């Protein structure tokens, strides 16, 4: 299936469906001799897995990862690494009532138009469950980046109309929203729980900050570092917008305000978000994504069926009333994949 691979020198290819036998990823471009454990990958998958709190889907998947190739005696061999996660709590029958209907907000209609066939069980290949493979592959990229001194941290900045007023990295993993402001998180949760009770959902904003990146990564034309980050983030089904640095706020700024002046100590501001001309400056990379409300809601909606007849639809099953908390580790994983790919591409220039 074209479009299932991402990256160049560090590359992943994901596979599997939401209610099929398994999901997973093949990772290429990992250097030989890298110490790697299942636990290091599992740590990141545990942050993404379902059933974590009242603001995530109640589906119970352990997302236990198995390393099937590319590892020998605890070290990578330099060959393809295959990581697989078997689906344990799939209930495809939950979708029998809607198999002939197009769900609003989903890829049902477009998938059928493209392929002439669609897997209606929880969106199949188009499901958010596909991102488990991305997180598994991203965990390997993250390990390598940490050795390079790079830190990637994402968090919920806004959800259910509540904005974080402070940024405290230490509280992100201490609240179910993975928000950077504990007070804001405490206000988000009851609102989202209420939406879930009403059969509805909400969206939000996730911000990502990356420190320790060397200057000089990225290409000046099509493979700009921010362009590849944008592609990575926009490849996530729930993401509808991307901005870097000052982002859309730049439209209300003057050039004299937006430009980042320099002195002998470096950049004095960082409106560019850590990139100029598509190449990293060495400053902190900052970007944000807009996460749409979860499309799967149990409220009745109007749609059409395969015969083109107007019908109502009510999506059953187990779904996240807000995707933000579980997309945070996915955002980090995709950012790690982009950065490690560009590090390897940069290193190839100097061989």
Domain coordinates of the chain in residue numbers? 5-348
Q: Which residue shows structure tokens 């395969």?
A: 306
What pLDDT, on a 0 to 100 scale, did the predictor assign at position 95? 74
9 has a pLDDT exceeding 90: yes
Surface-to-core class of residue 170, CB atoms within 10 Å of its CB (0-12 exposed, 13-18 middle, 19+ buried)? exposed
Confidence of residue 18 (pLDDT cuts 50, 70, 90): confident
CATH no., domain 5-348:
3.60.150.10
Are residues 162 and 156 in contact, defined by beta-carbon separation less than 8 angstroms? no
* pLDDT > 90 fraction of the chain, expressed in percent and rounded: 80
Q: Taking CA 66 as the corner, what is the angle to CA 63 and CA 71, rounded to the nearest 5 degrees?
A: 145
Model pLDDT for residues 298-349, shown as the tens digit of each residue: 889 999 999 999 999 987 766 789 999 999 999 999 999 999 999 999 998 8
| Nearest Cα residue to 227 out of 251, 207, 243, 212 | 243
| pTM assigned to the model | 0.94
DSSP 221: S
What pLDDT, on a 0 to 100 scale, did the predictor assign at position 337? 98
Q: Which two tokens stand for residue 44?
A: 């990141």
Quick check: helix, strand or coil at residue 241? strand
What pLDDT, on a 0 to 100 scale, did the predictor assign at position 51? 66
**How far is it, in rounded angstroms, from Cα 10 to Cα 31?**
10
Model pLDDT for residues 168-226, shown as the tens digit of each residue: 999 999 999 999 999 999 999 999 999 999 999 999 999 999 999 999 999 999 999 99
* pLDDT > 70 fraction of the chain, expressed in percent and rounded: 95
40 has a pLDDT exceeding 70: yes
Average pLDDT over residues 73-79: 97
351 has a pLDDT exceeding 80: no
Average pLDDT over residues 154-162: 98
Average pLDDT over residues 274-286: 98
Mean pLDDT of the chain: 93
158 has a pLDDT exceeding 70: yes
| Nearest Cα residue to 348 out of 65, 29, 49, 130 | 29
Average pLDDT over residues 62-87: 96
Average pLDDT over residues 241-246: 98
Q: Which two tokens stand for residue 18?
A: 């939401």
Average pLDDT over residues 5-34: 95
What pLDDT, on a 0 to 100 scale, did the predictor assign at position 269? 97
Model pLDDT for residues 132-142, shown as the tens digit of each residue: 999 999 999 99
């Amino acid at each position: 299936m074209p479009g299932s691979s991402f990256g160049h020198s560090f590359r992943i290819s994901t596979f599997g469906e939401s209610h099929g036998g398994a999901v997973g990823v093949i990772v290429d471009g990992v250097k030989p001799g890298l110490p790697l454990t299942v636990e290091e990958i599992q740590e990141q998958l545990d942050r993404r897995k379902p059933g974590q709190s009242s603001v995530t889907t109640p589906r119970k998947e352990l997302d236990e990862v198995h390393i099937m190739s590319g590892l020998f005696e605890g070290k990578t061999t330099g060959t393809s690494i295959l990581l697989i996660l078997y689906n344990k709590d799939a209930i495809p029958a939950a979708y029998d009532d809607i198999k002939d209907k197009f769900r609003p907000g989903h890829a049902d209609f477009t998938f059928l138009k493209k392929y002439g066939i669609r897997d209606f069980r929880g969106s199949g290949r188009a499901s958010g469950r596909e991102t488990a493979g991305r997180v598994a592959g991203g965990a390997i990229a993250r390990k390598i980046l940490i050795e390079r001194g790079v830190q990637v941290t994402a968090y919920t900045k806004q959800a259910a109309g509540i904005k974080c007023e402070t940024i405290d990295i230490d509280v992100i993993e201490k609240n179910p929203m993975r928000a950077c402001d504990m007070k804001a998180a405490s206000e988000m949760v009851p609102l989202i729980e209420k939406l879930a009770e009403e059969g509805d959902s909400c969206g939000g904003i996730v911000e990502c900050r990356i420190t320790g990146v060397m200057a000089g990564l990225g290409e000046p034309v099509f493979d700009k570092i921010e362009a590849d980050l944008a592609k990575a983030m926009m490849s996530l089904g729930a993401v509808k917008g991307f901005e870097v640095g000052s982002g859309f706020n730049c439209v209300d700024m003057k050039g004299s305000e937006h430009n980042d002046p320099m002195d002998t100590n470096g950049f004095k501001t960082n409106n560019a978000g850590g990139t100029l001309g598509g190449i990293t400056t060495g400053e902190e990379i900052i970007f944000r994504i807009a996460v749409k409300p979860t499309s799967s809601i149990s409220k009745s909606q109007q749609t059409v069926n395969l015969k083109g007849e107007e019908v109502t639809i009510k999506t059953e099953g187990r779904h996240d009333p807000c995707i933000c908390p579980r997309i945070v580790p996915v955002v980090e994983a995709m950012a790690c994949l982009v950065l490690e790919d560009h590090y390897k591409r940069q290193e190839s220039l100097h061989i």
